[in-house]
Chains A and B, each alone.
Chain A
Amino acid sequence: MEVITKIKQDTYYDSVTLMLVSSEIEKMEAVEEAMIGMGTDYNIESLQRLDMFGTEHEDATPNDLILTVKAADAKAGEKAIETAEEKLKEKSQSSGGVSAYNPPTQERAADMLPGANMVLISVPGEHAAKEAHEALDNDRHVMLFSDNVSLDEELELKEKAVKKGLLMMGPDCGTSIINGVPLAFANAVRGGNIGLVAASGTGLQETTSIIHQLGGGISQAIGVGGRDLSAQIEGRMTLLAARALDRDDNTDVITLISKPPDETILAPLLKELNSLSKPVVIYFIGADQAKIEAEGFTAAGDLENAAVQSCRLAGVDAADSLINQAEIEQKAAKIQLSGPYLRGLYSGGTLCDEAQRILHDRLDEIYSNTPVEGCHELEDLYQSKAHTIIDLGEDEFTQGRAHPMIDPTLRKERIVQEMQDPEVGIILLDVVLGYGAHPDMAGALVEAIEEGKSAADSPPLVAASICGTDQDPQNYEQQKNTLEEAGVYVFPSNVSMVKFAYQLFETT
């Protein structure tokens, strides 16, 4: 094995681009490992761990691009580095129609775009708060996609935003739709009179997509970041957004989605929400619905139900669910699973959580890297045990690689692995469409499903739920057909897929 390195000083690429290129280079023949990344402490440590660190790395700074490849021979290594450089160039070029000049600072960008009112920030976490402050100081709303921003920084930013009446969405906010414009990971949905506030990115994607499928529409979908309803942040952005939706003429119903708020802020939060004039639908994941109803709100039991209840209050004649129980039972009838266990391989955290909550009273032992109450911690992340439902978008899986909604590599490997396990009877997958997401996730997953099938004696059943709409750039119908042609049972929501699985374990 040869380790070949090239270092390009003062050359910056964002982490998603770098991780996607690394992943592509690792697939090349004769390449064992590839590290295409900035000279950050984490990347330097990874090189040392992988035994790829050399004297040329010693002076590298976080502003230098490192291309290091471990390959069968020097020629293969050099070829891989050359390919990586070409791919980086390709990916950094604009998709066309975009201004050829990209200014180096936010200030200069604002000069070029008079009236800019939103700053979308996805720079590394340690630099993110500074950029967010600059945006707020200049009266621009912020969507902060970056994570690794401290709670203290979040509080400072949100206090400033509230004082100025500005949106401070995030940190770690993956999804928002403002005036019909999807920001970062969001689906293309119909405009309408339902306004949402959510501390969960995939929760917001799933609910807005189902509202669209039910015939409803969205006025605004405001992501606030996962920690907004914590004791420290006290729901500052949730309240600012909810009050603004209450004043908004285009919004008739306000829908809230979040993990349950911290106990210490629950009472004051509900009191504030009670002062709103419009009907409020609340889905506090896993919380006691009766308590929420007792306070005068409409409580939802799951993401799909949150969409149904919102639509009904908004005047849309929505059915109880996208697929009724009789249809689910009919689909599940006569199916005999080839093995006793279920494996859920999720890219969406809230969807993974929802599957565990629905299944844990049916399945004896569920293991997860993000166990909900009643489920167990999975010790070895890379080896499932009994029934396992994992979120591949969690930090432990995404160190050094892009999120599974963008890069399916890790999930594909896991699908092949699970399909060869004779104890597995069913695999559950989520396919998240929309802006930001992979252009052909169904195609990528089907590759792995086919590979798994050909290697297994009696392959398990595969089910997938699609989170998306007919207006998404990926072409919903085509994604559905790709999955169905590979024998996958396809569902329009996570809840309907999980209920189908529930039914299978009831009958077997």
Chain B
Amino acid sequence: MKPIDSLFNEEVKVINLGIPAFRDDLDEQGVEVVHVDWSPPAGGNKKMQSLLNQLKG
């Protein structure tokens, strides 16, 4: 069974990255959700990000 087929028969559990209001809406409906306290990687420094990405390869 493909993951999309099983999804339709599973409980939706959400990881939310970005707008916190989306987490609040899901939480209000009793949906299991974890909000990521996201911030730009490497302090927004593009050169540092590119080095980090190379390391993660």
Q: Which residues of A contact B (CB under 8 A)?
A: 10, 12, 14, 16-17, 38-39, 61-64, 91-92, 94-95, 97-99, 102-106, 108-110, 112-113, 115-124, 127, 130-131, 135, 139-141, 145-146, 164-167, 178-179, 181-184, 219-220, 240-241, 244, 247-248, 250, 435-436, 473
Chain B residue at smallest Cβ distance from A435: B25
- In the bound complex, how far is the Cα of B4 from the Cα of A241, in angstroms? 8
| Residue on A nearest B41 in the bound complex, by CB | A127
Q: List 28 A-B contacts (CB under 8 A).
A: A14-B18, A63-B40, A91-B20, A94-B24, A98-B27, A98-B35, A102-B34, A104-B38, A106-B36, A115-B13, A119-B16, A122-B18, A131-B17, A135-B15, A139-B3, A145-B18, A164-B3, A165-B2, A165-B3, A165-B4, A178-B12, A182-B25, A183-B22, A219-B8, A220-B8, A247-B5, A250-B8, A436-B22
| Contact across chains for A123 and B17 when beta carbons are under 8 A apart | yes
Asked if A98 contacts B36 (CB within 8 A), the reply is: no
Among B4, B29, B39, contact of A104 (Cβ-Cβ < 8 Å):
B39
A140 touches B15 (CB 8 A): yes
In the complex, what distance in Å separates the CA atom of A105 from the CA atom of B14? 14
A61 and B34: CB pair below 8 A?
no
Cα A38 to Cα B43 in complex, Å, equals 11
B52 to chain A, nearest CB (A): 11
Q: Which of A63, A91, A244 interacts with B44 by CB under 8 Å? A: A63
> Are the CB atoms of B36 and A16 closer together than 8 Å?
no
Q: In whole angstroms, what is the CA distance A112 to B19 when docked?
A: 19
Residues of B within 8 A of A (CB): 2-5, 7-8, 10-29, 31-41, 43-45, 53
Query: Least Cβ distance of A318 to chain B in Å?
Result: 25
CB distance from B15 to the nearest CB of A (A): 5
State the Cβ distance, B5 to closest chain A Cβ, in Å.
6
Min distance, Cβ A483 to any Cβ of chain B, angstroms: 24
The contact of B36 among A17, A97, A109, A247, by CB within 8 Å, is A109
Contact between A121 and B17, CB atoms less than 8 A apart = yes
> Which 5 pairs show the lowest CB-CB distances between chains A and B?
A122-B18, A165-B2, A62-B44, A12-B39, A63-B44
A123 proximity list for chain B (CB < 8 A): 17-18, 38
Given contacts A95-B27, A122-B19, A436-B22, 17 further A-B contacts (CB under 8 A): A14-B20, A61-B45, A97-B27, A102-B35, A102-B37, A103-B36, A106-B36, A113-B33, A113-B34, A117-B7, A120-B15, A131-B17, A140-B15, A145-B18, A248-B8, A436-B21, A473-B25
Main secondary structure, interface of B, reads mixed
- Chain A residues with CB under 8 A of B17: 106, 119-123, 131
Contact indicator A103/B37 (Cβ below 8 Å)? yes
Note all chain B residues with C-beta closer than 8 A to A435.
Answer: 25, 29
Contact A109 B7 (CB under 8 A): no
A75-B38 Cα distance, complex, nearest whole Å: 34
CB of B40, distance to nearest CB on chain A (Å): 5
A62 to B40, alpha carbons, bound, how many Å?
Answer: 8
Rounded to whole Å, the gap between the CB of B56 and the closest CB of chain A is: 10
For residue A108, which residues in chain B have a CB less than 8 angstroms away from its CB? 36
A12-B38, A94-B24, A248-B8 are known contacts. Are A116 and B18 too (CB-CB below 8 A)? Answer: no
Given contacts A104-B39, A119-B14, contact A112 B4 (CB under 8 A): no
**CB within 8 Å for A119 and B10 given contacts A12-B40, A436-B21:** no
Residues of A contacting B40 with CB < 8 Å? 12, 62-63, 124, 127
Out of B13, B24, B25, B44, which one reaches A117, CB within 8 Å?
B13
A241 and chain B: residue at smallest CB distance = B4
Residues of A within 8 A of B27 (CB): 94-95, 97-98
Question: Which residue of chain B is the closest to A94 with respect to CB atoms?
Answer: B24
**Nearest chain-B residue to A110 (Cβ)?**
B15
Q: Are A118 and B2 in contact (CB under 8 A)?
A: no
Contacts of A97 in B (CB 8 A): 27
Min Cβ gap B31→A in Å is 5
In the complex, the answer to whether A116 meets B15 with C-beta atoms within 8 Å is yes
Whether B34 and A145, one on each chain, are in contact in the complex, defined by CB atoms closer than 8 angstroms, is no
CA distance A220 to B10 in the complex (A): 13
Q: How far is the CA of A108 from the CA of B34 in the complex (A)?
A: 10
